[in-house]
Amino acid sequence: MNTNKVYVLGGAQTDFERNWSKEGKNVIALLREVISDGCYDASLTYAQIEQLNKENRIGFFVGNFIAELYANQGHLGALLTEVHPAFYGVPSARYEAACASGSVALDAAITKIRSGDYDVAIVVGWEMMKTVSSKVGGDYLGRAAYYDKEGKGIDFPFPKLFGRLADAYIDRYGEEDRYMSALASIAEINYENAKRNPNAQTRKWFMSREQANMRDTETNMLVGGKLAVSDCSQVTDGAAMVVLCSEKYKEESGLKGPTPVVKGFGHRVAPMQFSKKLEESRDMDYILPWTRQTVVDAYCRAGVTVNDIDFFETHDCFTSSEYAAISAFGITEPGKEYEAVEDGVIAFDGTKPINPSGGLIGCGHPVGASGVRMFLDLYKQIAHKAGDYQLIKADTGCMLNIGGSATTNYVFVMGRE
């Protein structure tokens, strides 16, 4: 396998608090904004893009789940030509794996640079979700599960699927109160972290552990089994973008100093249906064994262990998914995740902080953008560009992005050279 290094030059995200439909703006406005901000951050001009394209050294990779339904738009790679004429002729395509769409686009981009085909890759993940009511949107999202059996005719199918993950934990390990209380703390930590993030959807919202623990009330309704609104990330509009490059480009452009580099990836797909996941893992150590395996693969490719990871960005679409990620990352053994929550290990100032950005619960979850947003947040931390949410020690970071009910699993490890 070709092992060219893959560097991260920079990027940008939109403010996930914004509702682009309310602003009266379309997909092109969203893309135009994130691409121009991201190129600016990465010091890449449209003139340079044109030159790189003449030499066939640049590609564009788009992550999006389901714009056909939310925005009546397909052919999303080609759509970039509407953003700027510099993209005429640039090879570009859309990549899809439900909520892990951003990661599959990143994977394709990384692969093209590692193989030496291109020297620069632009990756954009985006979703515009406020175009429809939450009920209609919930039904659209049901397509990330096996729609016919797990989505069709069910109101808000995903909270119910991740509610079943909570049930599976409680069935296997008991200690329901301790488990549910840990979930409330996870919500609180993500909201708290989001307060420092100027692009987070919930940065002005109120949440406390008490409120998160008061489930089944008017302001915290149950939405799926034991999970309540406070256990959910919320959909929003948003886009995130990063620019990757090869060692050759890095040298050509005279970049000095350490540049964050992609160290490893993992990509595994579990059975589509949630009941089949549980059936498969009944006698295994992990309830989500393929999620764990994806982490192991990425650590192995990066030549690291959990001890080498300074911080994590994980896919807390629900508190129960972040809870499962704690053991998948190897921070605790499975069944003991609550210890890392109770002892403050995963807190912002803990030894293994998870989601210093606020995660999906704090930042909001524009599904096709989330994978790229996490990757961008790894970059910001490692490059010391995270502003108010900068961690003190952030040399190596790891992200987990999942699609469906932990069906598609993607992990990236990023660090310094």
Partner 1 sequence: MNINTVTVLGANGTMGCNISGIFASFGNAKVYMVSRSMEKAEAAVAKAAQSVKAEAVESNLIPCDYSMLEKCVGESDLIFESVAETFDAKESIIAKIAPFIKKKTLIATGTSGLSITRLAEMLPEELRPYFFGMHFFNPPYSLTLCEIIPSLYTEHKVIEYIKCYAAQTLVRTVVEIRDDAAFLGNRIGFQFINEALQYAERYKDSGGIDYIDAILGQFTGRNMAPINTADFVGLDVSKAVVDNIYQNTDDYAHETFIFPEYCCRLVREGKLGRKTGQGLYKSIKREDGRRITYVYDIESGEYRDKMTYSFPFSIKMIEHLKNGEYKRAMDVLTSNHSTEAQICLSFLIKYVLYSITAAKLVSDSAHAADHVMAAGFGWAPPLSIIDALGGKYVFMKLAKERLDPALIAKINVEETMAGIPAASTYDFRRYFKGKK
Summarize as ranges the residues that interact with partner 1 (CB under 8 A).
15, 18, 22-26, 28-33, 195, 203-208, 210-211, 213-214, 217-220
Nearer to partner 1, 30 or 402 (CB): 30
Q: How far is the CB of 210 from partner 1 (least distance, A)?
A: 4
* Under 8 Å between Cβ of 306 and 298: no
Nearer to partner 1, 31 or 122 (CB): 31
Task: Give every CB contact of residue 106 below 8 A, 6+ residues apart in sequence.
Answer: 61, 63, 123, 242, 371, 372, 375, 410, 412
Q: How far is the CB of 361 from partner 1 (least distance, A)?
A: 15
Q: How far is the CB of 30 from partner 1 (least distance, A)?
A: 7
Nearer to partner 1, 19 or 253 (CB): 19
- 13 beta partners: 240
Q: How far is the CB of 199 from partner 1 (least distance, A)?
A: 11
Beta-strand pair 238-246/6-13: antiparallel
Residue indicated by tokens 């080609």: 78
Nearer to partner 1, 18 or 94 (CB): 18
End-to-end CA distance of the chain: 20
Task: Give every CB contact of residue 214 below 8 A, 6+ residues apart in sequence.
Answer: 220
Q: How far is the CB of 45 from partner 1 (least distance, A)?
A: 17
From CA 417, how far away is CA 405, in angstroms rounded? 34
Q: How far is the CB of 228 from partner 1 (least distance, A)?
A: 12
Residue indicated by tokens 């600016």: 40
Nearer to partner 1, 60 or 146 (CB): 60
Q: How far is the CB of 26 from partner 1 (least distance, A)?
A: 6
Nearer to partner 1, 55 or 216 (CB): 216
Q: How far is the CB of 284 from partner 1 (least distance, A)?
A: 38
Beta-strand pair 408-415/397-403: antiparallel
Nearer to partner 1, 233 or 409 (CB): 233
Nearer to partner 1, 196 or 380 (CB): 196
Nearer to partner 1, 208 or 253 (CB): 208
Burial of 366-400, coded b for 16+ CB within 10 Å and e otherwise, reads: bbbbbbbbbbbbbbbbbbeebeebebeebbbbbbb
Q: How far is the CB of 313 from partner 1 (least distance, A)?
A: 23
